Amino acid sequence: MKVFISPIFVVLIYAFLLRIYNLNYNSPFLDEAQYLILGRKVLVGHWQESNPFAWVGGMPLFYPTLSAVFGFWGITGSRLLNALLGTISVYLLYLIVRYLKLSNNDQDNETSAIIAASFLAVLAVPLYLSRLAIYDMLSFTLLLAGLVLLLKSLKSEKQKDWRKENWYFGAAVFIAASYLAKYISFIIFPVVALAAFWQAKINGNHEVRLYLKYFLLPLSTIVIGYALWQYPALIHFQEEQISKATSHSVVILKSFYSYSLPVLLPAAIGALLLFFKSSRTALVLIILALTPLAVHLATNNSAASGQHSYLTVIFLLPLASYGLQSFIGRWPRFGNLLLGLLFIATFFYSYSQLLKLERAWPNTDKAMDFLKTRTSDHEKILSSQDDVTLLALPNFRDENITGIFDFKYKNLTGSQAYSLALSENFFDFVLLDDHAHGTIESTVLNSITFHYRPIYNEEPFTIYHKSAIAQG
């Protein structure tokens, strides 16, 4: 008896294995540590002072789960949750490409969907975000789930038992939730809403009524209601995203280009083929793919451009997979050879990018292990890795560990506060990153008195300890 194994099942297996392999590849990234500490605060009911809506998003309750898992299985366990979300996102993109029906042949659509999912499984940024305990993967997975339900509603015939209504409403809830998880997903809402309205109008007046009542109205209500509730926090967040410094356009363009490079040419070919068929879908996908780039260029924000290239990639992949499938359909041998070579090249190209991304911050494990051996639970620590230090020393009270960011001491703030506190030997330990060269870091280094002596020095961290004379 022959056993048939679905190609998408194989894709999901290797997507999951790639995402869970060596999840302990590096110590917690600073953002991971911040969110895990926030989750800990939520668990004990002391999180309002952090004002997470101004910098995290509307779902600070996602982090208690990560924090609780961290308590049992460390950073590997916390990252595993996003590995699961990343694998689910691969399947959701597969469904999206199927429901788009770019070809009139169902088997061709199935082939395109498999190709798109296969590439999403190995591309650098989707892999990276699936192996990091932050909120990006949650947001993007919710967004994909919403798009699946929206396409299912628009592409299906009239359904009984309120199925269409439920799909529309579910799409609204999932897409709104993606915005609550990470604000960046909002940038594509107008394009999605207009494109869906366009398709609903083609389907007829009844479809338009369903779309407006069960999708657009709930989505608008949730988004506008949240915006009114958290208006000051949203304004603060928006101001933080706009850079008035030197133009970062070149950096932004390079970032989007490098992370989407493997699928750019196939996507261009797929788009041209669809334009020849007078397909409106190609235009919508191109606009959606360009929107994140346009927003980053308009705000001159290069900070998370690499992460947000995920939104570009997921809308390029349907076009790329259609282009590759068209080659296979017309020239089977050449098309399959081309697909195989491109996939192998993409895997190695993306893997090299992934290694760079996962080694972009210094490993703090040795420094934190050293601190554990030299502290009890009452010392005052000044650390350039404050949240990472809090994770490593869970018995310490938060106020005993100070970061190099915001500090008040004897009615002073900023550099003056750090300088006075160090001159008066306020801290028992000082941990500095030798690679950090900001204004406050320089002030701290220059303010360390002879009462502090280095007890740990391993690139790039130095730990200073207050001498017994100063303690006396």
In contact, 116 and 321? CB cutoff 8 Å: yes
Among residues of the chain, what percentage have pLDDT more than 90? Answer: 70
Residue among 205, 295, 303, 306 nearest 261 (CA): 306
Distance CA 167, CA 376 (A): 55
Q: Does the pLDDT at position 16 exceed 80?
A: yes
Q: Does the pLDDT at position 470 exceed 70?
A: no
Q: What is the mean pLDDT of residues 212-237?
A: 91
In contact, 407 and 421? CB cutoff 8 Å: yes
384 token code pair: 């350039």
57 backbone φψ class: left, alpha, beta (φ>0; ψ -120 to 50): left
Query: Which pLDDT belongs to residue 1?
Result: 47
In contact, 289 and 316? CB cutoff 8 Å: yes
Beta strands in 186-334 (DSSP E): none
Residue among 319, 349, 388, 363 nearest 125 (CA): 349
* Cα-based torsion angle of the residue sequence 260, 265, 270, 275 in order, rounded to the nearest 10 degrees: 100
Distance CA 430, CA 469 (A): 17
Question: Position of tokens 């603060």?
Answer: 236
Q: 429 in helix, strand or coil?
A: strand
DSSP designation for 213: I
Q: What's the full length of the chain, in residues?
A: 472
In contact, 255 and 305? CB cutoff 8 Å: yes
Q: How far is CA 307 from the centre of its chain?
A: 6
Report pLDDT digits (tens) over 283-318.
999 999 999 999 999 999 888 899 999 999 999 999
Average pLDDT, the chain: 91
Please classify residue 101 by burial: count the beta carbons closer than 10 Å to its beta carbon, then call 0-12 exposed, 13-18 middle and 19+ buried: middle
User: What residues contact residue 43 under an 8 Å CB cut-off, 6+ apart?
Assistant: 64, 67, 68
Report pLDDT digits (tens) over 170-187.
999 999 999 988 889 999
18 token code pair: 């790639």
DSSP designation for 215: I
Q: 451 in helix, strand or coil?
A: coil
Tally of CA atoms within 13 A in the half-sphere of 465 that contains its CB: 12
Model confidence band, residue 460 (pLDDT cutoffs 50, 70, 90): very high
Q: 458 in helix, strand or coil?
A: strand
237 token code pair: 């967040």
- Residue 405, φ and ψ in degrees, nearest 5: -150, -60
Domain boundaries, the chain: 7-358, 365-471
Report pLDDT digits (tens) over 254-282.
999 999 999 999 999 999 999 999 889 99
Question: Position of tokens 């993409």?
Answer: 346
Distance CA 123, CA 406 (A): 37
Q: Where is average pLDDT lowest: 39-43, 425-429, 442-446?
A: 39-43
Q: What is the mean pLDDT of residues 211-225?
A: 96
* Beta strand 381-383 pairing with 429-433: parallel
Query: Which pLDDT belongs to residue 57?
Result: 63
Query: Which pLDDT belongs to residue 38?
Result: 84
Model confidence band, residue 443 (pLDDT cutoffs 50, 70, 90): confident
Question: Position of tokens 């280009």?
Answer: 257
Report pLDDT digits (tens) over 346-355.
999 999 999 9
Q: What is the mean pLDDT of residues 63-85?
A: 88
- Residue 135, φ and ψ in degrees, nearest 5: -90, -5
Distance CA 172, CA 331 (A): 41
Consecutive H or E run containing 433? strand 429-433
Query: Which pLDDT belongs to residue 61?
Result: 59
Between 50 and 13, the more confident residue is 13
